[in-house]
Amino acid sequence: MTTLLVVPDIPAIKQRQRAVWAAGDYAVVGTTLQIVGERLCEAVDLRAGERVLDVAAGNGNATLAAARHFADVTSVDYVGALLDRGRERAVAERLPVTFRLADAESLPFPEASFDLVLSTFGVMFAPDQDTAAAELARVVRPGGRIGLACWTPDGFIGQLLATLGRFVPPPPGLRSPTLWGTAERLDELFPDGRIRATKRVFTFRYRSPDHWIDVFRTYYGPVCRVFEMLEPAARAALRTELVALLTAMNRAGPGSLVVPSEYLEAVVVAS
């Protein structure tokens, strides 16, 4: 028996991903994750004046955290609407940040351009994981640090993505983005780096499961697009599954929603 290797259509996947992340308004959800960017800057021991690149920066959580500590920050993403939200935040705080449209798998910078490369829940969604990791390692100087925050497979967001995938399967041959949230996969992606990985928790705080679903269905691209793609009966079934997941993980009890979501915080020291 012959096993066929399915090669994902990376350009088509990227086009689809851009549409997904441009849907809704990610910043509404993204800004609630700001503490993760602050923690990551502490984990990499950021120094004022360092050259920092925030990859797949989204609405700029790690970007702003680094800029607040007087780093020289460049913020990149391949979705212009997301960069616009980061730019608005930087202007509001009067922080000098360079924003640039760029793909994590083809960064437009020379080798060893940065002291620090950061990504919070961003680069993990690049369809070609090995190429994306190689690009992070390429643009950081020897002895520099790569700081990552990635959802784990077993945490709340990992389970959310798995649930969405049962209703709208991912493209054939595509690796799960939550593999970035495992020490084993990071060892494969950064074989020449020294890696320190720590499991952490971000806590989602909403009024109720229905409130969380309404916010994510409206503003968070992956949830928004899946609901849009489904027929009414399937939408109702998805909502029922999400309510069950949220209820099972809610540690607040009736009357509120407090859901811990595990992620892996990793620091890779480049060789």
Domain ranges of the chain: 10-158+170-203+261-269
Helix 221-229, helix 10-22: angle, nearest 10: 100
Report pLDDT for 19: 87
Backbone angles phi and psi of 74, in degrees to 5: -115, 130
Report pLDDT for 251: 96
Neighbours of 46 (CB within 10 A): 23
Residue 233 burial class via C-beta count within 10 angstroms: exposed 0-12, middle 13-18, buried 19 and up = exposed
**Which parts of the chain register pLDDT below 70?**
1-5
Say if residues 185 and 124 touch (Cβ distance below 8 Å). Answer: no
pTM: 0.95
What top-level class would CATH report for the domain 10-158+170-203+261-269?
alpha beta
Report pLDDT for 179: 98
Tell me whether strands 51-54 and 140-151 are parallel, antiparallel or unpaired. unpaired
Say if residues 78 and 101 touch (Cβ distance below 8 Å). Answer: yes
Report pLDDT for 5: 62
Backbone angles phi and psi of 259, in degrees to 5: -120, 115
Q: Which 8-state DSSP code applies to residue 4?
A: P
Tell me the pLDDT tens digit for each residue of 214-254.
Answer: 999 999 999 999 999 999 999 999 999 999 999 999 999 88
C-alpha dist (Å) from residue 226 to 16, 122, 222, 239: 12, 19, 6, 11
